[in-house]
Amino acid sequence: MTVRLYLWQRLTAALMAPMVLAHLAIIFYASRQGLTAAAMLARTRGSFGWALFYGVFVVAASIHASIGLNNVLCEWSPLKERGSGVLASAFGALLFLLGLRAVMAVVS
Amino acid sequence: MGSAPDELEVSLWRGGEAGRYEAYRVPLKENQTVLDLVTWIQRYLDPTLSYRFACRVGMCGSCAMTVDGRPRWTCRTLVAKILKGRRLEIGPLQNLPVIKDLAADMRPFFEKWQRAKGVFAPSQTRREAPAKIPPQSALRIAADAAIECINCGICYAACDSVRWNRDYLGPAALNRAWTLLNDARDKGNAERLRAVSGKDGCHNCHSHQSCERHCPKALNPTASIAGLKRKTLEAYLTGRIAG
Ligand code: SF4
Ligand code: SF4
Ligand code: FES
């Protein structure tokens, strides 16, 4: 791992740590309040705030996970550096697309 | 093979990479070190046994071997302290090629020492007055904590990151780079920061501290590497090194 990837991994981790806590708090709140799917969607649809929150989370998670996966593949698989890089980037892109799709589903 | 009460069964690695363990019976004596066992076998049972040692007092760092799965300095390891039962297995250091029997090939270890710029780059000549380094200065204190390394390779043999990435510079070379980074007399830091921040550099360390656990000099290469991670990050953010 290079210093550049190290920085991105730590940055995204630092960003995600409070976001995960906020996400858990939101789940807790929603279930305690007994919010229905319709009630949740009413809050999230068209909301720039929720789109930004979960959008940033999806981007950070995709970057963080693909760097981590790259390290695991480099260390534990017979793949060469290039192969691991391609596979990990593809995984990051997949996470990004799936995450984005999920965000779009609740905000649009 | 069984052994009498005052005897020990010692299995030694014999041959090169494709060797095997062979068992020997060695008399148990008081205050015997693991190196004593190996020496006894070479003197009395098989003079062709190859192994390495020099000082026998924990200074030269040449006698490291794998003893019952753990890397140890054999000249300072008392048999009585580590013996469980009546068997001991001794092999060459791990993570290094085997030359023959108990002698590992230390070349990759020392090559990485060079690659990490673990070599003093003097900023003055002998004609200038000696530099004054106050013992209480922060740099000196940081260097002091890591300086007593005897190049034994034990941390390197214990490091899983080296096992997974044979090009990783490893704890000893990085620990040495850290002492030099804190040496006010050295002028090689720009190059050194570049050398330790590349793809096989300090960021490969997972901080699981096997190096610290096994270092016979009770050094903490993990802490030195954490220092390098901080310094290289600073250098990267201020544009002094490229990613
Ligand atoms: S802390 Fe780092 S250098 Fe030390 S054994 Fe673990 S990975 Fe290797
Ligand atoms: S840091 Fe410790 S274990 Fe590693 S080479 Fe130096 S003395 Fe040996
Ligand atoms: S023989 Fe010198 S350290 Fe063991």
Closest residue by Cα to atom 1, ligand 3, is B56
In angstroms, what is the span from residue B194 Cα to ligand 3's centroid? 33
Give pLDDT, residue B4. Answer: 65
In whole angstroms, how far apart are CA B130 and each of B47, B127, B133, B177, B188? Answer: 49, 9, 9, 22, 18
Q: Which residues of B66-91 are buried (b: 16+ CB within 10 A; e: fewer)?
A: bbeeebbbbbebebeeeeeeeebebb
Number of CB atoms found within 10 A of residue B186's CB? 18
Whether B19 has a pLDDT exceeding 90, the answer reads: yes
pLDDT of residue B96: 98
Looking up residue B205, the CATH number of its domain turns out to be 1.10.1060.10
Which chain A residue has the Cα nearest residue B198? A2
**DSSP code of residue B132:** P
Compute the distance between CA of residue B73 and CA of residue B51 in angstroms, rounded to an integer: 13
Whether residues B91 and B143 share a domain: the answer is no
The pairing of beta strand B87-91 with beta strand B64-67: antiparallel
B141: pLDDT strictly greater than 90:
yes
Quick: pLDDT tens for B96-119. Answer: 999 999 999 999 999 999 999 999
In which band, very low, low, confident or very high, does the pLDDT at A15 lie, cut at 50, 70 and 90?
very high
Task: Provide the pLDDT confidence category of residue A81 given band limits of 50, 70 and 90.
Answer: confident
Whether residues B67 and B133 fall in one domain: no
B144-191 pLDDT, tens digit per residue, is 999 999 999 999 999 999 999 999 999 999 999 999 999 999 999 999
Structural domain harbouring B40: 7-104
pLDDT at B40: 98
Last residue of a domain, one of B72, B104, B136: B104
Does B71 map to a domain?
yes
B211 in the same domain as B186: yes
pLDDT of residue A1: 86
How large is the angle between the packed helices B171-181 and B107-115, nearest 10 degrees? Answer: 30
Last residue in a domain, options B86, B104, B122? B104
pLDDT of the residue at B243: 77
- Express each pLDDT in B145-157 by its tens digit: 999 999 999 999 9
Index of the ligand 2 atom closest to the CA of residue B64: 8
CB of B243 less than 8 A from some CB of A: yes
Please tell me whether residues B217 and B151 are part of one structural domain.
Answer: yes
β-strand partners of B122: B186
Pairing of the two strands B87-91 and B7-14: parallel
Ligand 2 atom, smallest distance to B156 CA: 4
The residue of chain B with its CA nearest to that of A70 is B204
Q: Residue B152 domain-assigned?
A: yes
pLDDT at B240 over 70: yes
Residue A98 has pLDDT above 60, yes or no: yes
pLDDT, mean over chain A: 95
Q: Is B211 within a domain?
A: yes
Structural domain spans, chain A:
3-107
Alpha-helical runs (H) found in B7-55: 34-44
Q: Taken in order B224, B225, B231, B235, is the CA torsion positive or negative? A: positive
- Closest C-alpha to B58, from B40, B76, B44: B76
Three state DSSP letters for chain A: CCHHHHHHHHHHHHHHHHHHHHHHHHHHHHHHCCCCHHHHHHHHCCCHHHHHHHHHHHHHHHHHHHHHHHHHHHHHCCCCHHHHHHHHHHHHHHHHHHHHHHHHHHHC
Interface test with A, best of B167, B199, B228, B230 (most A CBs within 10 A): B199
Q: A3-107: what fold?
A: 3 helical TM bundles of succinate and fumarate reductases (1.20.1300)
Q: Which of B104, B134, B159 is the last residue of a domain?
A: B104
Indicate if the pLDDT at residue B7 is higher than 70. Answer: yes
Q: Please check whether residues B136 and B228 belong to one and the same domain.
A: yes
In this structure, is residue B243 part of a structural domain? Answer: no
B116 and B214 part of one domain: yes
Q: Give the number of domains in chain B.
A: 2
pLDDT at B1 over 70: no
How would residue B78 be classed by pLDDT, with cut points 50, 70 and 90?
very high
| One domain for residues B61 and B72 | yes
Query: How many CB atoms neighbour CB B213 within 10 A?
Result: 12
- Phi then psi dihedrals of residue B176, to 5 deg: -65, -40
**Same-domain check for residues B115 and B192:** yes
Residue B28: name the closest of B5, B2, B56 by CA. Answer: B5
Q: If you average pLDDT over every residue of chain B, what do you get?
A: 96
Q: What is the rounded average pLDDT of the residues B76-87?
A: 95
User: Percent of chain B beyond pLDDT 70?
Assistant: 98
The preferred substitution site among B222, B224, B228 for testing ligand 1, maximizing ligand atoms within 8 Å of CB, is: B222
| CATH code for the domain of B94 | 3.10.20.30
Verify that B86 and B116 share a domain, yes or no: no
